[in-house]
Structure 1
Amino acid sequence: MQQPTTRAAGPPGAVRGWLDALAVVLAGLVAMAAVAALGLWLAGVDDLPDGGFPAVLAATLALAVGGTVQLDGGAGDFAAVGAGISAMPLGVSVVGAVAMAEVFLRRLRFRAVASGGELLGRIGRTALLWLLALALLTLGARHSFVVPLGGDLAESIGGALGLTPEVGFHADGVTTVGIGLAWLLVVLVLTFAVSRRAPLPPALVRHQLAVRPAAFALWLVLLAYLAIGVVAGVLTAVVHGNTRQTLAVVLLALPNLAWTAFGVGLGAEWQGRLVGALGLPVPKPLSAVLRAAPEGGQATIDLGTLAEQDARNWWLLPLAAVLLLAAAFLAARRTPRTVRLWQHAVRFALAAAVTMLLVGLWTRVDAAYGLSVLGVGLGQGGLADLLGAVLGAENPLAGLGGGSLTLRPVLWTAVPLAAGWGLLTGALGSLLAARVRHRGEVPADTR
């Protein structure tokens, strides 16, 4: 007699889909929170007054997905605050993105094809829960502090008038939710573009070899720069001291520095300016160039200006060339031999251009901060500590009148430069790969 078949116990399909989406969102938030908390602790901002650390942690997560943190407050006409921060701590962003991509693909492993409806459903459920998480994040990323006025005269006047200035910060809801959603969609698109484990709809399967080999190879280039940065950061911490602060930079902002070095090595430029103390240690050549900006203007950060400060920066050029050539060779080896040299070169050029575009957008920094009392700018006290916590710095408001930090890529030249490098190295990589066996080929003597 035939035994009735039984199904494995488990939640219904619809419930399982929502649980999978929840796992993706939680994985990203937990991973980002762990890295951000450790980085902020190393930076020395774990003892903020009034229990402000959780709110600063939430603000850091908001920045990591592209949000903006605003500061406001004061005491009527007596004291006023003006500040805003838009900068992605990419160390936090990258860890969160990798964690979400890994969990998202786990339910899709061992499959080469998936229907478009299924993938859109998974992405849609994840996006809805992510929006809810971002909304909760903006609610948690707000706090206020009592601000020491920072001077005997100001303290005396404030005490006589009975005024106690307060400053508060909050994550801007529109940018955090809107750009945070775009951040998630970019992460998922890049996941499908890079990973061979990600199943595609049948209509897109035939296009995967035109995208994935080059995308995966350039992802390895970015990882290589991170690995080099980690080694350099650890050596700096051991040799020059400032161990906690240096490790904080490694955790919070290593990709910002390493990927900027990648672009500079290709000949790209950033425009920027630094006024006031940055707090955490950054490469001295970069800090020196930023501080050398003309009055009211912007400094140019490129290979030449950095090499003027330290001639060793010229090595960024051959490093970028070697890593790009190695990536082009790897991409060609993972591509069928039937793909022509010019096709591989064009594909690799497009991938390099997109990579530089994303690197440029991710490494933008805009931060301006200041506190004035009776029209006099102040740079000490609670506001300095608060902004230091959000920025991962000790005292970015050092000096009267606060300060500012800007760093913006010149994309209209950086993207074409990357495309040109990709075209050249793509062609050379294809020539080199012509002499080796490509992935999936069967040796002639075994046929």
Structure 2
Amino acid sequence: MSSPTVSERPVARHGWVQAVRTVLVALAVMTLSAALGLWAAGAADLPDGAFPRVVAATLVTAVGGSIELAGDAGALAESRAGVTVMPLSVTLAGALLLGWGFLRPLRHRAVASVRELAGWAARIAVLWLLALVGLALGARQTFAVDMGSGTLSDLAGLFGAAPKVGFAANVPLTVLFGLLWLAGVLVLALAVARGAPLPGRLLRFQETVRPAAHAMVVLLLACVAVGLVTALVVAATRGHAATTFALILLGLPNVAWLGFSLGLGATWDGRVDGPFGLPLPHVLDAVLRTPDVSELNLSSLTDYDGRYAWLVVVDALLLLAVAFRTAVCAPARVRLWQHAVRLAVALALTVLMICLTGRISAHYALSLLGIGDLGGGLSGELFLRPRLWQAVALGALWGLVTGFLGALAAHAVRRGRGTGGP
């Protein structure tokens, strides 16, 4: 009995059971990361059993969903609130697990049809849609604001203006952006994984897109690893262990990728005012807590602590390493300028992603009878936003230079070995 030919081999099994497993594992790890991070931050002490709802809201924001804040302070008062932030530790965990689960049944394949890939992705998307709806419906809560004692408290009691603030997920927007986020994760997984099958028409892009895309994912994970080691050293030597672990489990990539962009020379505008505060490192809060909008860049950081100049060195070493590795693994026929251009485009897009996902905005204000901030501490603002196109241009420039230098080093290694190919 003859062995089956390549065309007769059974296709990879990826049905509903595998889709359920993929979605459940991703949700479980994301929930665990969010819950432990919020617990370390002290959210377990929230009143009215709000902790599970806050965890649900954290997951909603992690996948691009929308949380709306609402304030109620009676007929004679007004409260306003808003928050925009992505807990990228939770986001990264979900993206890695969903991408791994999506690609796992397709391993050991060279080619897959568009119909097959679309059908497998659709199974995951249907289950992800149900999860998004459940999370959005569960992410809603209202809290009473404690005004302490004093004139403000007496006025609030007199006029029946006890302020309340609550949050609720916008279900349609959460579903829309959550599905777009999933689509981006699955497409990126196909673009990055070297062994993932592609439709026949897309195979010609495998040599030009995948090495650079893979290099950027390695770069981002390396930045997170460096940040993790730094955070653990800080927790062991300077205390603040609970705050540090909350940062690791909720927003480590937020800080690590922000530091990477600053090392490239990017500038972020921001301000910290009132009761709000930025997580570790403390230098961020110190630089931005000024009466006016402040610039966060290498200059302002090194004025506070000269050791932050090492961000440039770390960025350069990481970029040269991934550029060299990418060039070594590429065919010898790829020219130096092609390596440089591909890495420049890939790094520019990576910096764009960092800027879009790393924005932070939060504000809360209370006014009574038209008089704002009666409490002297019940109003505050925090925001951090990049100078987008400056950062993207710097990313392209760094990618061009390090891509060329990495390819040049790889070419020298090949010549030393006397080989014409990888």
- Same fold (TM > 0.5): yes
For residues 215-258 of structure 1, the C-alpha deviation after alignment (integer angstroms, 9 at most, x for no partner) is 11221111111111111111111221111111111111110111
Whole-Å separation in 2 of the counterparts to 1:197 and 1:277: 49
Q: Which amino acid aligns with 1:37?
A: A
Deviations 1:160-201 (A, max 9, x none): 566655432112234322222221122112211211132111
Q: Distance between the aligned counterparts of 2:239 and 2:111, measured in 1?
A: 52
Counterpart amino acid of 1:312?
R
Which of 310, 318, 324 is the matching residue for 2:319?
324
Provide the C-alpha distance between the structure 1 equivalents of 2:274 and 2:164, rounded to a whole number of angstroms.
22
Shift of 1:214: 1.4
Alignment of 1:8-407 (within 5 A): 17-159=15-157, 165-279=163-277, 281-292=279-290, 294=292, 298-375=293-370, 399-407=376-384
Amino acid at match of 1:403: G
Label 1:340 to 1:293 Cα distance change in 2 as closer, same or farther (>3 A): farther
**Residue number in structure 1 paired with 2:5:** none
The CA deviation at 1:372 is 3.7
Matched, 1:421 2:405: no
SS at structure 2 position matched to 1:51: coil
Shift, 1:375, TM fit: 4.5
For 1:56, the aligned partner's letter is V
Task: Summarize deviations over 1:110-167 as a string: whole Å, max 9, x none.
Answer: 1121111111122223223222221221110001233334334444455456665543
* Structure 2 contact 152–374 (Cα < 8 Å) conserved: no
**Rounded Cα–Cα distance in structure 2 between residues aligned with 1:279 and 1:346:** 40
SS of the equivalent of 2:64 reads coil
Could you tell me how far 1:72 is from its partner in structure 2?
1.5
Give yes or no for contact 1:90–1:254 (8 Å, CA) kept in 2.
Answer: yes
SS at match of 1:66: coil
- The amino acid of 1:274's aligned partner reads V
Change (3 A) 1:279 1:242: farther
SS in structure 1 of the partner of residue 363 of structure 2: strand
22-31 vs 274-283, which deviates more? 274-283
Pair 264,75 (structure 1): closer, same or farther in 2 beyond 3 Å = closer
Cα distance in 2 between the residues matched to 1:339 and 1:432: 14
Rate the CA distance shift 1:333–1:169 in 2: closer, same or farther, 3 A.
Answer: same
- Counterpart contact for 2:276–2:380, Cα < 8 Å: no
Say if 1:149 and 1:373, in contact at 8 Å, map to a contact too.
no
TM-score by length of 2: 0.90
Task: Judge conservation of contact 2:361–2:382 (CA < 8 Å) in 1.
Answer: yes
Q: Distance in 2 between matches of 1:434 and 1:413?
A: 32
Q: Which structure 1 segments of 5+ residues have no match?
A: 3-12, 381-398
Q: Which amino acid aligns with 1:292?
A: T
Q: Contact (CA 8 Å) 2:73, 2:79: kept in 1 or not? A: no
RMSD of aligned alpha carbons: 2.5
Instruction: Give how far 1:305 is off.
Output: 1.3
How far the C-alpha of 1:80 sits from its partner, in A, is: 3.0
Q: Which runs of 5+ in 2 are unaligned?
A: 2-10
8 Å CA contact 2:81, 2:362 repeated in 1: yes
**Counterpart residue type for residue 170 of structure 1:** A
Amino acid at match of 2:327: A
Contact 1:66–1:86 under 8 Å retained in 2: no
CA contact (8 A) 1:71 1:168 kept: yes
Q: Distance in 1 between matches of 2:377 and 2:179?
A: 38
Distance in 2 between residues matched to 1:153 and 1:416, nearest whole Å: 52
Partner of 2:4: none
**Per-residue displacement from partner, 1:362-382 (whole Å, max 9, x unpaired)?**
1011111233445555698xx
Q: Please give the alpha-carbon distance, in whole angstroms, between the structure 2 residues aligned to 1:442 and 1:197.
A: 28
- Which deviations, in whole Å up to 9, do the C-alpha atoms of 1:270-322 show, x marking residues without a partner? 1111112345642232212211352xxx2211111111111111111121111
C-alpha distance 130-306 of structure 1, shift in aligned 2 (>3 A): same
Task: Count residues with an aligned counterpart.
Answer: 409
TM-score by length of 1: 0.85
CA distance in 2, matches of 1:271, 1:253: 19
Q: Cα deviation per residue 1:362-414 (whole Å; 9 max; x = unaligned)?
A: 1011111233445555698xxxxxxxxxxxxxxxxxx5242111111111111
Equivalent residues of 1:349, 1:421 under 8 A apart: yes
The SS at the match of 1:151 is coil
Instruction: For residue 78 of structure 1, report the CA deviation from its aligned partner.
Output: 3.7
Paired residue secondary structure (2:43): coil
